[in-house]
């Protein structure tokens, strides 16, 4: 059902970029930019950045202020500019300029949390991983599939319950659904194909 619904909605920006040929470094950098930032802003900032730098070596030729100007107005753009330089330096010095395809190694990079690391594995390397952002966390709890307090808890519960064949696309489907139908406040339940089976956990107002 979600897969059929997904066909009628735009893919999340990182998925779209990966489908258009973005490599692991571009996926990593774009995901860093996307935190606390709307997809349309992330897409434009990523395009400007990658016109100047598409690899860790390229990124290190840019100074911090230049990167800030390229990625503005993404959220926390000054911190993200610093982290992009730090990440690029670490990749060049410790990983032969290759983005690691292991979650524990990815988590060592500045500004990289579990959501970012899992998304790099999924979209950068097409490896099975469960990427949980605010939409996935919210909807998974709202439909009663998990009962958790944090995105990290949701990730670990989904790893236990969700069949592995759905791991890669679960994030894509729920992000698209959460952006358009299953919104945080007053979701469009009347437009939802799953309304009849959804307990609407935590929902006090809907349309």
Distance CA 25, CA 39 (A): 18
> CB of 87 within 8 A of CB of 51?
no
Token output for 148: 């958790």
Q: Annotated catalytic, 4?
A: no
Identified catalytic residue from 58, 78, 133, 191: 133
Closest by CA position to 193, among listed 8, 48, 16: 8
- Residue 123 near residue 14 (C-beta atoms within 8 A): yes
* Burial of residue 16 (number of CB atoms within 10 Å: 0-12, 13-18, 19+): middle
Residue from 78, 82, 115, 127 carrying the catalytic annotation: 115
Neighbours of 26 (CB within 10 A): 23
115 tagged catalytic: yes
Return the DSSP state at 149: S
Task: Please give the positions annotated as active site.
Answer: 115, 133
């Amino acid at each position: 059902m979600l897969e059929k619904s997904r066909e009628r909605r735009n893919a999340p920006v990182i998925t779209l970029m990966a489908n258009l040929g973005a490599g692991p470094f571009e996926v990593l950098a774009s995901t860093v930019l996307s935190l606390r930032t709307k997809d349309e802003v992330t897409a434009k900032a990523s395009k400007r950045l990658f016109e100047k730098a598409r690899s860790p070596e390229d990124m290190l030729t840019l100074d911090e202020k230049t990167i800030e100007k390229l990625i503005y107005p993404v959220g926390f753009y000054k911190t993200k500019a610093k982290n992009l330089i730090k990440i690029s330096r670490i990749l060049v010095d410790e990983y032969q300029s290759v983005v690691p395809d292991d979650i524990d190694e990815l988590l060592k990079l500045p500004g990289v949390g579990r959501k970012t690391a899992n998304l790099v594995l999924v979209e950068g390397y097409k490896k099975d991983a469960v990427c949980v952002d605010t939409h996935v966390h919210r909807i998974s709890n709202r439909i009663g599939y998990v009962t958790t307090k944090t995105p990290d808890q949701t990730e670990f519960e989904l790893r236990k319950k969700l069949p592995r064949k759905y791991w890669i696309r679960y994030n894509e489907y729920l992000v698209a659904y959460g952006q358009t139908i299953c919104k945080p406040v007053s979701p469009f339940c009347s437009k939802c194909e799953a309304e009849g089976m959804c307990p609407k956990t935590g929902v006090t107002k809907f349309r």
